[in-house]
């Protein structure tokens, strides 16, 4: 399978997941958690959705500008979603379940943010025509 197709398929899957998680937050989770925890959850969904579009853009552009930097941009967006949004989903669960054993998730969030930033930089630098 061609790499741009993999990025587009992953973006489509993560996009559908964003809608599902957003709907769950708006209709089900909202009743179970406090406002502070809901903001954390909504941030996770929002950043996941933003970077779904970034990943889709990489998939579209990869046909024309294929190269290592664009490949890494897509990869870093995926890793960023997993680390940034994933850690915020874990923190939401931690607060909802009052589970003190999940304190390790907080420090992961900025690492995911760093992957987002590096992904955007790789995208910008990868758009040079060969």
Residue-wise pLDDT for 20-79, tens only, equals 999 998 888 888 899 999 999 999 999 999 999 999 999 999 888 888 999 999 999 999
pLDDT (tens digit per residue) in 73-115: 999 999 999 999 999 999 999 999 988 889 899 999 999 999 9
What angle (nearest 5°) sits at the alpha carbon of residue 44, between those of residues 40 and 48? Answer: 165
Instruction: Give the pLDDT of residue 100.
Output: 86
Count CB atoms within 10 A of the CB of residue 117. 11
Instruction: Give the pLDDT of residue 31.
Output: 83
What whole-number distance in Å separates Cα of residue 93 and Cα of residue 102? 9
Tell me the three-class secondary structure of 73-96, residue by residue: HHHHHHHHHHHHHHHHHHHHHHHH
Instruction: Give the pLDDT of residue 82.
Output: 98
Neighbouring residues of 6: CB distance < 8 A, sequence distance ≥ 6: 59
pTM of the predicted model over 0.75: yes
Whether residue 130 has pLDDT greater than 80: no
């Amino acid at each position: 399978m061609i790499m741009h197709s993999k990025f587009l398929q992953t973006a489509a899957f993560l996009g559908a997941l964003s809608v599902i998680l957003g709907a769950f937050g708006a209709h089900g989770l909202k009743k179970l958690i406090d406002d502070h925890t809901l903001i954390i959850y909504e941030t996770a969904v929002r950043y996941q959705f933003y970077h779904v579009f970034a990943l889709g853009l990489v998939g579209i552009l990869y046909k024309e500008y294929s190269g290592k930097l664009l490949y890494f941009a897509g990869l870093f967006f995926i890793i960023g979603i997993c680390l940034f949004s994933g850690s915020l989903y874990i923190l939401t669960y931690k607060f909802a379940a009052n589970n003190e054993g999940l304190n390790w998730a907080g420090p992961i969030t900025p690492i995911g943010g760093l992957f987002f930033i590096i992904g955007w930089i790789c995208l910008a630098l990868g758009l040079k025509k060969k």
